[in-house]
Amino acid sequence: MKKYLTASLCIAIIIVKVTGQANTSLSNLTSPTAINVTLLPGNNNKNLGSAAKSWKNLYVAGNSYVKTAYTYFDDATSQFRINNGADRLVIDDAGKIGIGTIAPERNLDIQTTATTTVMQVKKPWTGSGTTNFNLVEINNAYNFGYGTGLYASGGRTGIKGYAPNGSVTGYGVYGEAFGASGYSYGVYGTASSAGNAYGVVGIASSSGGAGASAFGVYGSASTTNGWAGYFSGRAYFSGNVGLGISNPSVKLHVYSGTDAEPGSGGYIVTGSTSATNLAIDNNEIMARNNGVPSTLYFNDDGGDLVMCYESGNVMIGTKTPAAGYILSVDGKGMFEEIKVQTSGNWPDYVFDENYKLPSLYVLESAIKLNKRLPGIPAAKQVNTEGVLLGDMQTKLLEKIEELTLYIISLQKQIDELKQQQHN
C-alpha cells in the first residue's frame, strides 16, 4: 500500500509542476516513461525547458518528432535545420531550402563538394543504374540523366551526352525508331493548327542591343581538331542558312574566306585538298589536284553549256576582252569544224551577166600599185586588227570566182587560136 501511495504522490507532484511551471526535470525521465499530461509553459513567451537543460527527444504517438541534436530552429538565423553532425537541410525565413548548404541562394539550392550524383530519381522497380534519372557532376560538368542530358560549364548551357570511355556513345538529344515505318526525332516541334512549331529556337530580344545574337543550336570547338556543329545524317532547313554570316539573305549564304589558290583557300571546297577538289571563292571557280591546277570540266557527259546569255564577254588565255567581241581567245585553237554565218552577200554575184569583171591589165595595174588584190586588206592592217573570218571567206571566194572567169576566158582564146591554126 505504501509503494502505491508513493507512486501516486510522485505523479501528483509532476502534474502540479507541469501545469504550473515548466519542469526541466522531466528530461531526467528514462524512456519509455509516459507522462499523460498537458505540458505548458509557465506563462506567455516562456520556453518549455531552458537553455541550460533541453529536451533530448519528443515522442508523439510513438514517433520521434524532435531530436535536439538533429532537428531544431536556429534563433540566430531564423532557420529550421535538420542536422546530423553537419547541417543537412535548412529552411530559412524567406522560404528558401538549402540541401548541403546553410546559406541557400535560390528557392532550392543543392550543393555538394564530392564528385557524385547530386540528385537521383529512381524508378520503383529494381534494375541497373541505367534506369535511374540522375543529376550527376562529372569533371566539373553537370549531366542531367544517364549518358545524356543538360550540360553546363563556364557559364554556357547546352545539351550534352557524356561517354565515360571509348566503347560507348553519349547522345545529347537522341531519338530511336523501332520498326521499319517508325519515325524518331531528337528534337521535334509540331503545330496542330495555323501556328508555328519549333523544335529548337533562339530569340534575341531588344534588351541585348543591336549586336545581340540568338542561337537555337550552337556549337563551338576550342581546338583545331574539335567539331562545332555536326550532322551525321540528313539536315533540313526551311529558312536561309548562313556560313560566316548571321543574317543570310539567300537559302545558302557563304560569306568570308580566302582567295582560291592551287594549294589552298576558297570559300567552298568540295573534295579532299590532298586529291582532286573544286574550290570556289567570291569570284572564281578552280579545279585543283593536291596543290596544283587541274582540269575543269563542264557537262563532261553531255548537255548544253550556255555562257553570258544576256550579255558579257568570254575570254580564253586572256583577262582582257577584245573590244566589240563576245569571245576573245589569246592562243591557238583546234577545231574539227567551224561554221560561220555571214550577214553580207555571198559572192554568187560574180557569175551574174551584168557583173563587170575587170580586165587583167586593170588587175595588173592595181596589184603593182597596192601590192595586193583589190578588196583584200593590207598585211599591216591584218597584223594589228586581225581578220573577220566570214568576211575574209567572202572576199577570197569572190577572187576565186573572178579567177575562174579569167581562166574560162583564156581557155576560149586558146581554143580560137588552135582552130585558126588548123584552118
Beta bridge partners of 285: 280
State if pTM tops 0.75.
Answer: no
- DSSP conformational letter for 366: H
Domain boundary among the residues 27, 42, 68 is at: 68
Contacts of 131 (CB under 8 A, 6+ apart): 122, 123, 125
392: in domain: yes
Q: List the end-to-end C-alpha distance of the chain, in Å, as a whole number.
A: 197
- Report how far residue 185's alpha carbon sits from residue 236's, in angstroms, rounded to the nearest whole number: 13
How do residues 80-133 score in pLDDT, each as one tens digit? 777 766 767 888 888 899 888 888 898 988 887 665 666 665 655 454 444 455
Residue 320 lies in a domain: no
Of 42, 68, 94, the domain-final residue: 68
Question: For the chain, how many residues are written?
Answer: 423
Q: Does the residue 373 lie in any domain?
A: yes
Nearest C-alpha neighbor of 150 from the set 133, 126, 165: 133
Domain that holds residue 357: 340-422
Residues 279-332: pLDDT tens digits? 999 999 999 999 999 999 999 899 998 888 788 899 999 989 888 888 899 999
Residue 58 placed within a domain: yes
**pLDDT of 216 over the 60 cut:** yes
What residue has cell string 529558312?
A: 239
The three three-digit cell numbers of residue 342, written as one number:
555571214
172 with 145: CB under 8 angstroms?
no
Among 68, 83, 105, the domain-final residue is 68
Radius of gyration of the chain (CA): 51
Q: Is residue 328 situated within a structural domain?
A: no
Q: Does residue 110 belong to any structural domain of this protein?
A: no
Q: Is residue 56 part of a domain?
A: yes
Res 160: pLDDT: 62
Task: Note whether residue 394 is domain-resident.
Answer: yes
Query: H or E element: which one contains 316?
Result: strand 314-316
Sorted by sequence, the CB contacts under 8 Å of residue 74 that are 6+ apart come out as 80, 81
Q: Tally the domains of the chain.
A: 2
Q: Using omega within 30 degrees of 0 as the cis cutoff, is the peptide bond preceding 32 cis?
A: yes
